[in-house]
Amino acid sequence: MALPIYASPLEKVWHWTYKAICAAIFVFLIAPILIVIPLSFNAEPYFTFTEKMLSFDPEGYSLRWYDRLLTFGMQAPDAPRDWSWWRDVLANATWFDVAWNSIVIGVFSTILATVLGTLAALGLSRPEMPWRRSIMAVLISPMIVPIIITATGLFFFYSKIEIQKWGVPYLGIIMAHATLGIPFVIITVTATLSGFDHSLTRAAASLGANPRTTFFKVIMPLILPGVVSGALFAFVTSFDEVVMVLFIAGHDEQTIPRQMWNGIREQISPAILAVATILVVVSVALLATVEILRRRSEKLRGLSAG
């Protein structure tokens, strides 16, 4: 937005004030995310910038908190770092363990949410769909209902059906996380389908394609960007979810957020900031993927010249 040349001095002042306000709000949005990154390299066990860090003295920075993440929970953290040391890390390091749990739970709940959510979005986008609005409202509601309520309800439900005794590891958490991820899949896939031309499926059918071929050759390529970004949303939701895990997980079902939660409650050590930094890097990567997909989707649907 350029300022017109005939702007009065007062308007010029207002224009620059407005830009300064916007800049300040952007700082407010981003600063808390960036601040943890340098602090996680702090050589001292503090949460604040030391003199040495501010003067960019290399001695003020170290990788000790990342090292701490790796060795936390190991049997012999001080052993020489040879092959058996790394085997010890893989077998015992707590953060390794919880990261693995988070990934397993995230992947399975994402698959569940994406498959069910995409099918439902396809049904909801059909013009013949009855009770469309009410069904949509029900399917989106896990996002709206406070998580503590869902978690409390699931706690009663799971203890009644004794899901822990079914012998399927993580089953309860995976289902719960899938429920929370489903609204995101529905919203993104329906948005992609909103510009979808239904005569394409009819054209495919009239050319002799069976429904399966139509789905995989015509519909899927067009909605894939929406499906993938929905899946990423679902994965992030699961990867970030702590209340559910606190309420319904078994003792050995630790995830990254639960471990962070415990760490923050007991005493924050800068090791938490190292985890936070890693998570920020992960979210930047995911955001970049979604952005690329969005642009691709717009190009495919001819919405932008891109």
Partner 1 sequence: MVAIDTSGGEALGGGLLTTADGKPLKQALAHAQARARRKALLLVVPLLAFIVITFVVPIGQLLFRSVYNDGFSANMPQVSAWFQETEAGAEPDEAAYAALVADIVASAEARTIGVVGTRVNYEISGTRSLFTSAGRNAKDLQPPYREALLELNAKWADPQLWGVMRSVSSAYSANFYLAAMDLARDANGDIVRAPEDRRIYGMLFLRTLWLSALITGLCLILAYPVAHLLAVLPLARSNLLMILVLLPFWTSLLVRTTSWMVMLQEQGVINNALVALGLVGNESRIQMMYNQAGTIIAMTHILLPFMILPLYSVMRPINPSYVRAARSLGATSWTAFRRVYLPQTLPGIGAGALLVFILAVGYYITPALVGGASGQLISNLIAYHMQDSLNWSLAAALAALLLAGVLILYWLYDRLIGIDNLKLG
C-alpha distances out from residue 190 to 86, 123, 217, 222, 226, Å:
46, 10, 19, 12, 8
Nearer to partner 1, 74 or 193 (CB): 193
Contact status, residue 88 vs residue 75, Cβ threshold 8 Å: yes
Nearer to partner 1, 55 or 80 (CB): 55
Question: What are the two backbone dihedrals, phi and then psi, of residue 194, each rounded to the nearest 5 degrees?
Answer: -65, -30
Which run of H or of E encompasses 303?
none
Nearer to partner 1, 88 or 142 (CB): 142
Nearer to partner 1, 74 or 175 (CB): 175
Buried b (16+ CB within 10 A) or exposed e, 156-174: eebeeeebbeeeeebebbb
Burial class (CB in 10 A: 0-12, 13-18, 19+), 273: buried
**Alpha carbons 116 and 126: distance in angstroms, whole number:** 16
Q: How far is the CB of 220 from partner 1 (least distance, A)?
A: 14
Q: How far is the CB of 91 from partner 1 (least distance, A)?
A: 26
Nearer to partner 1, 47 or 96 (CB): 47
Contact status, residue 298 vs residue 67, Cβ threshold 8 Å: no
Q: How far is the CB of 21 from partner 1 (least distance, A)?
A: 6
Q: How far is the CB of 82 from partner 1 (least distance, A)?
A: 34
Secondary structure E strands in the chain: none
| DSSP codes of every residue in 227-252 | HHHHHHHHHHHHHH--HHHHHH--TT
Q: How far is the CB of 184 from partner 1 (least distance, A)?
A: 7
Q: How far is the CB of 86 from partner 1 (least distance, A)?
A: 27
Nearer to partner 1, 89 or 235 (CB): 235
